[in-house]
Chains A and B, each alone.
Chain A
Amino acid sequence: MVDLSRKYDVLVIGGGNAALCAAISARRAGASVLVLEGAPKFYRGGNTRHTRNMRCAHDAATEILTGPYTEDEFFEDLLRVTGGQTDEDLARFMIHESKEMLTWIVEQGVRWQPSLGGTLSLGRTNSFFLGGGRAMLNALYLTAEQLGIDILYDAEVTSLDIRDGMFLSATLKRDGKDIAIRASALVAAAGGFEANIDWLRESWGPAADNFLIRGTPYNRGSILKMLLGKGVQSIGDPTQCHAVAIDARAPKFDGGIITRHDSDVFGIDVNKHAQRFYDEGEDIWPKRYAIWGRLVAAQPDQIAYIIFDSSVVTSFMPTLFPPIAGNTVAELAQKLELDPAALAKTMAEFNAAVRPGTFDHTILDDCRTEGITPPKTHWARKIDAPPYLAYPVRPGITFTYLGTRVNRQARMVMADGKPAANMFAAGEIMAGNVLGQGYAAGMGMTIGSVFGRVAGREAAANARN
């Protein structure tokens, strides 16, 4: 039985990658640790459950990585995807620490998958968890249990007692009762606020109602809001997040990886007025993948349709939700509730603009359109082999970037610029320190693991003093 009346050295709020890395590192540094996970046991580990890989720097190829990925190259990639919107000092620190993560995380029981060659073209930069994120979490939880870390599920923290940058206690709602939990140091690892539609609406307006949340419904940003309300300095822009286009038929929350679509290459994207709105052939995966969520978010009613035809069906994997089909353009339009004449016109104009070329979706090929706006600059081929097919897509929010400012110790920084006395943060809740905008695959986990480990270590040291 967990004794909630005692005072712990370190309280960790959250139950994902960042939280578990923090808890384990604090415990290994000798601290007594309590982990409060707001979700039920099955849903433990929030968005981490849905992950697959982590981006770590390394100087040479390994059994799991096909080639070196230096700290400098990692930093250049980060600069490129964020357009320079990153805290260089923290980013370089994180990248440096990420090197050790490759072995540290294995010492905590996590296993990597030997490189399978072609996986998503990330085989050099990203290490894949054997069995995915839930397997990774199962391993971390097992290690945490074996180390004697106390863990509670269904344990949502509903308020924090913080005075002058000093954490005193947290209130836990349990079986309808409020319980005060005391600890010498706090690690906040409770994710972003992506599942809080009201909060998203504050900056996105009514469009937010049409967003689908790809991961956990439990990341509602309550801890983040409390911290910012108690004088912790915020960092990042509330509209910045990672978002991709996912199937509009996906559940509101937790649809995970299998709802994504990346078939734009094979057709065109139209909005609810049956108009094209962006160059579908602009860039190669994953850059293309990373921008479409925001593009669809900017369309009326936040919906779009990827339209293609039967000649390309075998070019990509069958999907959870099968494509909507029509034997004629008019039939398809009717099923999609689009104006048939408008769709026919858009498709006819597109088909007429397609220039001959040699199709190759793995490179920026020479199949393009001429004379239409927006153009499709690569992979443009006529859509004229019925039946016609479509996937409806909506913006799928992965995670938000607005967070608490931290320093190299993962220690929160107060609004006046002073470091907090005993409060640390890791993971999505402080992602904005490194990610001002944009994203490079696998960084969510790097941020959680690196800052989680640092936060745990520092919190343990803090508790001892």
Chain B
Amino acid sequence: MTDLSHPHSSNTLRETDRLMTVCNSCRYCEGLCAVFPAMEMRRAFSDGDLNYLANLCHACGACYADCQFAPPHEFNVNVPQTLAIARAESYAHYAWPPGLSGLFARNGLVISLIAALSVAAFVFGFAAFTDPAVLYGVHTGPGAFYKLMPHNAMAVLFSAAFLYAIVALVMGVHAFWRNIGEPVGMTTGPRALLQALRDAGELRYLHGGGVGCYNEDERPTDRRKLYHHLTFYGFLLCFAATSVATLYHYLLAREAPYPWWDLPVVLGTLGGLGLVIGPIGLLVAKTARDPALVDKQRMGMDVAFIIMLWLTGATGLLLLVLRATAAMGPLLALHLGVVFALFLTMPYGKFVHGIYRYAALVRYARERQMMGG
């Protein structure tokens, strides 16, 4: 057959191909987001192309509410849900090391286990390092935290977890980037990287073509974007707080805890608030969402990640408020345990969506430049 369509490695990708072929002969949604214009640049789709499109989709839901062929129509066109499933499967497909890709499927459970174990390890670790009484003691002033765990030990442990996460993520994205096909001359440039940074930073395509995203019905709202911003920027602020504190420690020899007005605390408080409010909003929106739009099987993965982020923010804030009391020891153990688990599970959970989507946006920005648009 001269049909140029590609064979595909999974049923999900076969269904995605069917939908993209339908959409490519319809094109009514081309103004809604980046997915459709990217689709229009192709006439047949490899596995990599489909994974690229799936990760370019921001799940705003507009193309479902707007599709005349959505179920119950017999053409059964459900782009958001199909791309959501393809997206989740792509994370597992590109996971590094490949042997751990199965973690995605059992993500909710794995995250809970790792989190519980990490917290337990920190509690026992503290107790073993010092004597149990120290854990429940009241410590104040510079260096108070390190009565429980020496700073260097903390730094080594977290750097190791963080580095592992980075390596695993880089390997995964590298595989993705190669697979989504990089024709000659398609190497990316600073302009595409910047454009994608802006598109990702603004969540430019989580907007249903301008009205906001669709959640429970065909009436659009913009709330998911707001909650996502709170969560994402909250996370960045917390990360910045930790980085500044590390610099203080090693460059200025100033030890935590810092007074409330100091940069790490201000950043951490603001970030923590974002991380407490944002995930709650996302979780509420997720529960209310029309089941037709979501990948029901991956709810566990999404929820686990949202809860981990919330716990990071909540324990951090609590630690700040109660750091001069006897609760400091257990809370520090809890907070560090949660953050440690978050780092460790990063490459095998919902966290990766940001990385893959950014890579897809870079690719899209580059394609647009090549097309002169």
Q: Do A and B come from one complex?
A: yes
Q: Are A131 and B28 in contact (CB under 8 A)?
A: yes
Identify the stretch in A72-80, A168-176, A252-260 within 8 Å (CB) of chain B at 4 or more residues. Answer: A252-260
Q: Are B210 and A133 in contact (CB under 8 A)?
A: no
A133 to B2, CA, bound (A): 34
B211 within 8 A of A: yes
Contact flag A138-B4 (CB < 8 Å), given A132-B28, A317-B25: no
Q: Are B25 and A116 in contact (CB under 8 A)?
A: no
A42 to B25, CA, bound (A): 22
Q: Are B4 and A314 in contact (CB under 8 A)?
A: yes
Q: Are A131 and B24 in contact (CB under 8 A)?
A: no
A113 to B62, CA, bound (A): 14
A412 to chain B, nearest CB (A): 30
Q: Are B24 and A116 in contact (CB under 8 A)?
A: no
Identify the stretch in B65-73, B147-155, B334-342 within 8 Å (CB) of chain A at 4 or more residues. Answer: B65-73
Q: Are A131 and B4 in contact (CB under 8 A)?
A: no
A70 to B72, CA, bound (A): 42
Q: How large is the interface on A (under 10, 10 to 19, 20 to 34, 35 or more residues)?
A: 35 or more
A142 within 8 A of B: yes
Q: How large is the interface on B (under 10, 10 to 19, 20 to 34, 35 or more residues)?
A: 20 to 34
A371 within 8 A of B: no
- A-chain residues with CB within 8 Å of residue B74 when the two chains form the complex: 251
- B-chain residues with CB within 8 Å of residue A319 when the two chains form the complex: 21, 25
Task: Classify the secondary structure of A's interface with B.
Answer: mixed
Q: Are A389 and B67 in contact (CB under 8 A)?
A: no
Q: Are B31 and A322 in contact (CB under 8 A)?
A: no
Residues of chain B from 181 to 213 with CB closer than 8 A to chain A in the complex = 209-211
Contact flag A318-B24 (CB < 8 Å), given A113-B31, A131-B209, A387-B2: yes
Q: Are B66 and A135 in contact (CB under 8 A)?
A: yes
Q: Are A256 and B68 in contact (CB under 8 A)?
A: yes
B324 within 8 A of A: no
- B-chain residues with CB within 8 Å of residue A188 when the two chains form the complex: none
Q: Are A131 and B29 in contact (CB under 8 A)?
A: yes
- B-chain residues with CB within 8 Å of residue A310 when the two chains form the complex: 2
- A-chain residues with CB within 8 Å of residue B43 when the two chains form the complex: 314, 317-318
Q: Are A132 and B29 in contact (CB under 8 A)?
A: yes
Contact flag A254-B73 (CB < 8 Å), given A50-B68, A116-B31, A131-B28: yes
B163 to chain A, nearest CB (A): 44
Q: What 0/1 readout, one digit per residue, does chain A (128-139) give for beta carbons within 8 Å of chain B?
A: 111111110010
- A-chain residues with CB within 8 Å of residue B29 when the two chains form the complex: 131-132
Question: Which residue of chain B lies nearest to A111 when distances are taken between CB atoms in the complex?
Answer: B210
- A-chain residues with CB within 8 Å of residue B209 when the two chains form the complex: 111, 130-131, 135
B15 to chain A, nearest CB (A): 14
A219 to chain B, nearest CB (A): 15
CB-contact partner of A138 in B21, B73, B218, under 8 A = B218
With most chain A CB atoms within 10 A of its CB, the pick from B28, B66, B74, B219 is B28
CB-contact partner of A52 in B2, B28, B63, B73, under 8 A = B28
B222 within 8 A of A: no
A325 within 8 A of B: yes
Question: Which residue of chain B lies nearest to A53 when distances are taken between CB atoms in the complex?
Answer: B28
B26 within 8 A of A: yes
A180 to B5, CA, bound (A): 56
Q: Report 17 cross-chain contacts, Cβ distance below 8 Å, ordered by A residue.
A: A42-B72, A42-B73, A116-B31, A131-B28, A131-B62, A132-B68, A133-B28, A134-B68, A256-B69, A258-B69, A310-B2, A313-B2, A317-B25, A318-B3, A318-B21, A318-B43, A320-B22
A interface residue numbers (CB < 8 A to B): 42, 49-50, 52, 111, 113-114, 116, 128-135, 138, 141-142, 251, 254, 256-258, 310, 313-314, 317-320, 322-323, 325, 387, 389
9 shortest interchain CB distances as A-B pairs: A132-B28, A113-B31, A131-B66, A135-B66, A310-B2, A49-B68, A130-B31, A258-B25, A258-B26
Given A131-B32, A325-B2, 7 more pairs with CB closer than 8 A: A50-B68, A113-B30, A116-B30, A138-B218, A258-B69, A318-B4, A325-B3
B interface residue numbers (CB < 8 A to A): 1-5, 21-22, 24-26, 28-32, 43-44, 62-63, 65-70, 72-75, 209-211, 218-219
